[in-house]
Each structure stands twice: as structure tokens, then as C-alpha cells.
Structure 1
């Protein structure tokens, strides 16, 4: 089952190794912390830390709850909440929408820095790109694996006009949280082969980002902070995506694979996919 594969890789537990040393236990706790952290945007500027903690504690034990503030102590409208267990975040997200002090908040799983530094890491989307697919894999194989992360609306393995296999696919979920879970719980393997899973960037969004670079003479590294800051009211150094960004529905053909899938040969079947770059998808 997909869940057992992912959990074995991404979620080591102390109970699975009762003889672990204190140093090993510390390492396990640190690695698990990312999965227990929640970003909450859209807060009322009058919401107090205690009020937020009281509300979130309905869904699980809170380890830490911090509303981010400026130098004058004024709320910046977002917070971070650390739960005791990752299942508590699942519970919190399953009970959306949440309203605190008359405002609907915008919860999202906090992403590790290596993900937020990627161009696609800044977006809130309901579609993932899957690369390094072996030609014997079918759409049913992909659905069977990824349905553990949420309800799948569409799964399409891309082919040429001549019906030749292109080595990548797109899956659309009905919830952005399913995509975030896929990204958080990498790596993903089917039949022992690692897949290259990323957030899919809509063609329209790619065009907007490329135009932003050209108009401002920027490179993709600067885009990671400046384009993000352009669209979101949250500070750039946190690199946390704003969950209310929305895009119109696109067919799979309105999405482009990352540029290294267009400009470089596909990796040999059975090899590890090439390291992800921050380059923008090309416009065909």
C-alpha cells in the first residue's frame, strides 16, 4: 500500500525502534517536527495567542502557538502552531473551514525550506506533476498510490500526438491540502522506483512569472522571494505560501512539465531522477 511505503520512509517512530539511543530519538523527533507544524494565515489582527491556542487545542494537544508580530508588538495576521502529533494536523485540516474572531482563517501545512525555495513551492494548487515514470506504469497504478493523499479528480499520463509515452503525468485533487501532503511526504516510490513529484504550475501562472522576471530583469533566485512577496502579504523570509491564491480550472494540457523535462533527455528507466532545479517551465 502507498501509505505504508510513505510512512516507512517519512515517518519513523520511536515505537518501531524501542532500543534507539537518546541521540537517535532526538533525531527522530527533529525530523518529525515539520509534519506537526501548521501555518495559519488570515488571522484577525485582534486575535490573541491564548485565543488561537484555545481554539486549535480542540483538535489536539498544542506544543507551541505563536502569532507573528512586528517590532511594535502588533499582529502580522498569521501564526505557527505546533501540534504534538501529525495526526492532529490531519484532524484540523479535515474540519475546515475554521472561523476565529469572526474571520475565516487560512490554514496550511508548513513546508520545509527546501520546498519553499523552489519556484513551484510558492503556489497553492490542486494538481501535481509526476516525472520519471516508467512506461509500464498505468494511470490506475498512479491512482491506486496517490489516492491515499486525497480524492483524485483526474489522472493523466501524458503522450505525444503519435501516442508515444512521455514519461510524466498530472494528477488533480479536489483539495490543495492533498497536494501539500504529497510534497511533504516525499520521496514516493512505485514498484521500487522513485518518482519526481512537484506542484504543477498552470501555464497562465508560468507566463505571469516569466513576465515578472523579464520586466524586472530578475533571475529565478530573486523570483523565489520577490514574486512571492508580490502576491502575498506574508513576509518573504518565511517563504510560506498563501493558501487563498486561486486559479481557474485547467485541463492537463494547460500545465507544463519543469524545464529539465523539456530541455534534457529523460533519465534512464530505473535510475534516480535528476536533482530538481529552480528553473521555470518553458513556454511551448
Structure 2
């Protein structure tokens, strides 16, 4: 405890040490619970000062200001609290606060892929991906089903070389609002014995991000 209190963030061979309690197979750090992202920090703030700013809100597991190779601050960092409640308390108190002339941005940390997907979700869309319907579904029936929620510009079912339905297709609405209403109403609806899936048609880059998120182990910022 004395070493942690006295040596954490002290310089050793030109670099600031980071000292924390070691936990075998730590579920806390792997889960990301209590992990806070802080940006727009004054360039003069180092990891020790960042910890001093946040330690009043709860027990800190790890804390760092991200630096360039030359040791210059990138003006953002991460603080991981022991509990989610401590993180929320810090965010509530410090987000938007002005410190040394800088307005702080403080939020729950999200991986890059999650931030990108959040941005995708906020985008407007009119093209829907539909799957899990039977071979009896036709373009006309698909258009009729979706037209209850707004003007449909196009409805297509993907088919094999012999013209048989491959069980999925696309529906394009005239407006984003109507497309969202159709997703809310029809996603998960039973068509015979199958639950139909209805969602925004993803672009190639979005599908690749989802695949990476599924196949890449979680990385903790701290």
C-alpha cells in the first residue's frame, strides 16, 4: 500500500510508472466496468494529476494520460474505477466542467468499433434487409406487407440461378421515418414457423466492423 501511494506515476528511466493491485484473471479490467474516457485535458496535466482530479469519486483501479513517444500529452486519458457507480458520479460531476481554461469531456469509454457503430445507428436509412421468410414469399407480397408503414420504392427477393428464393431480400422506403417504423413493427414477426428478421441494410464496411467485433477479444483502455 505504501509503494502504491508513494511510487505510482513516479518517473523511472524517463517514463512514469503505473502501479495497481494485481488480480489473477481480473474480471473487472476485462469487463471494462467503470472505465471512463476523458478528453480536452490541458497539456500540462499528467497521470498523477488526472488521478487526483478523479479519486474523490471512488476507488481507482488504473489511470493514465496518453502521451506521444516524446512524452508530450495527447490531451486525453482513461480512468478506470472499481465500480460503475463511481464512474457515473465522476461523469456527472466533471463532464463539461472547465479546468485550466479547458472544457472537459468525460464519458463511459467505448471501443472504436462501438463508437463507429453508434454513429452508424444515428445515420438515416431507407434500405432494409429482410430474411427468414418462406419460399412462397413474392416481391408483390413483400411490397404489400411493408407498404402498411409507408411508401415503398422497391422490394426485391434474392434468387438462385434457377429462380428459387434464397430466403432474403431488400425493401427500400421513400423515407427514413417509414423504414424505422417497419423495423419496429416487423422485426421478429412470425411468418409461418419462422421469425422474420428486418433491419437496416448494412454497407460492406459496417459488416466488416461487426465481424471484427465478434471475432476480436475485448481490449481494455487502461
TM bucket normalised to smaller = 0.3 to 0.5
TM-score by length of 1: 0.36
Answer with 1 or 2: which has the greater Rg.
2
TM-score by length of 2: 0.45
> Which protein has the bigger strand share?
2
